[in-house]
Amino acid sequence: MIAETLAGIALFNSAVAGIKQACSHAKSVGELGGLLDQLWTAEKQINQQSIKQSAYNDFSNIANTAIDRRLIQEQMNEVRSMITLRFGSDCWNEIIAEKAKRERAMREEETRRALEQQQKHEEWIEIAQMSMVVVFLVVLAIAMISFAVG
């Protein structure tokens, strides 16, 4: 668990270093897209591991998690400042707004797919129930015919 957190922190630090380097010579924000994606993926991974670790009452983990979060926030602020200085004051806000828009669209798509899957599942259950009724009625009819003949 700690190794996963360390891997997330290493990924995050790598993304920050790449963004710092790219900001100095990037001609567009698009050139930073992959690095920003890596940054947010690492941040998400670190947060998920922190949540898993918070289940344990190990005070060193609690302290490390708090410090890691502060360091991540510092670096995120630094990245935001670099992008703002390089590409203008509204650039970071536009990036965050677009990120939120795409995440919302992904969640809506996942919800739609889950609903479709649930509907298909319910349809199959209904078909199975109807099939059982038909089989029961056929068996009942055969039994009644056999009883009437015999």
Lookup: tokens for 56: 């344990």
pLDDT digits (tens, 9 = 90+) for 114-143: 999 999 999 999 999 999 999 999 999 999
Asked whether residue 103 is assigned to any structural domain, the reply reads no
Number of domains composing the chain: 1
What type of residue sits at position 115? L
Asked whether residue 34 is assigned to any structural domain, the reply reads yes
Task: Please state, in angstroms and as integers, the Cα–Cα distance from residue 133 to each residue in 79, 138, 139, 141, 145, following that order.
Answer: 65, 9, 10, 12, 18
Asked whether residue 10 is assigned to any structural domain, the reply reads yes
Residue 90's φ and ψ, nearest 5 degrees, are -90, -10
Distance, in Å, from the CA atom of 48 to the CA atom of 19, rounded to the nearest integer, reads 23
Asked whether residue 36 is assigned to any structural domain, the reply reads yes
Domain that holds residue 61: 2-89
pLDDT digits (tens, 9 = 90+) for 41-62: 888 887 887 777 666 666 777 7
